Copies of this chain bind each other. A is one copy, B any other.
């Protein structure tokens, strides 16, 4: 079996590492000659919109998937016309436009923060009268890791935030006073089999995920599973999907979803019976899904822009390194590490040591 992946970054790399033991081979399409996954298979080197390369990818792969959601609609549609593509272009279309996404979630009874479609400066002024300050103005498309976003603290911020949009369509969202950020990583196979990982509790800084921790028997697990089931079923989704949620007064508010393997699920490599990467492959290849049951207690820490020496990290007991083979660059995710421990108390102690090392080398 051969899987084609649009993108050859760390997510593609971790999918490939999970795929080798299943006997899967890989072909990656990526414009960067040094994309870090590409030594694990064949590399089609060029632009994502190059129809010759897309045709070649379709020809060589039994199934095509991708590691990012901002795949242009025409690319997804071209691929779907030539081969099997999972997740479907429909899931991409919903995920890559914040307005369509929020409408879709609300129609399924999955609550979101209050939001308004913004097309003119006047529509922004009007929206703020009902939403109130603080709020966040976001481009409808292309934003990730906090990019394309402005916080509106008072009406004094409106003008500059509007100008920053530079005419791009946008949404404004009410600020959510959450008690914590969580996400659920779930998977649905071609046959419609569903599986859910234990919730992740996430800490972001500057819009970038820093720490994820697996939660055991969390009271919000059932509610999150219900929401993500509605979403995946409505989309006839195939593959791994992550739904980011806020907990507010004992209720869950959806932030956004990612139609792919997700940074908040990296802990599943060590912390679940079957990793999100393996289950993504099992789902798109229509193999039985693997157990998502927890294996001990785990937490994951991201390294942004820089990272400590491997030796320093590996001195901490039960640290598992995941270097992506990417050159350090300001703001770039270049590695993560996972800690696995038999008890929650041990995990907390070791996590603090690891976060200290991450903070010392942070360049985000």
Contact = CB atoms under 8 A, between A and B. Distances in A.
A323 interface: yes
A318 interface: yes
Contact of A17 (B20, B288, B317): B20
A276 to B, nearest CB: 15
Contacts of A310: 22-23, 287
A40 B291 CA distance: 27
Interface residues on A, range: 20 to 34
Given A39-B41, A273-B340, A340-B273, A321 B21 contact: yes
Contact of A323 (B21, B273, B295, B311): B21
Given A39-B40, A314-B282, A340-B273, A21 B320 contact: yes
A81 to B, nearest CB: 28
B314 A287 contact: yes
A322 interface: yes
A315 interface: yes
Contacts of A317: 291
A320 B122 CA distance: 58
Given A13-B20, A21-B322, A21-B323, A288 B315 contact: yes
Contact of A311 (B274, B287, B315, B320): B287
A21 B39 CA distance: 13
Contacts of A39: 25, 40-41
Nearest to A286: B311
A290 interface: yes
Contacts of A21: 17, 320-323
Contacts of A315: 288
A318 B40 contact: no
Kindly list the 5 A-B residue pairs having the minimum CB-CB distance in the complex, ordered from nearest.
A23-B323, A21-B322, A288-B314, A288-B315, A287-B314
23 contacts: A17-B17, A17-B20, A17-B21, A20-B40, A20-B325, A21-B320, A21-B322, A21-B323, A22-B310, A22-B321, A22-B323, A23-B310, A23-B321, A25-B39, A39-B41, A40-B40, A273-B340, A274-B320, A288-B311, A288-B314, A288-B315, A290-B318, A291-B317
Interface of A: 13, 17, 20-23, 25, 39-41, 273-274, 282, 287-288, 290-291, 295-296, 310-311, 314-315, 317-318, 320-323, 325, 340
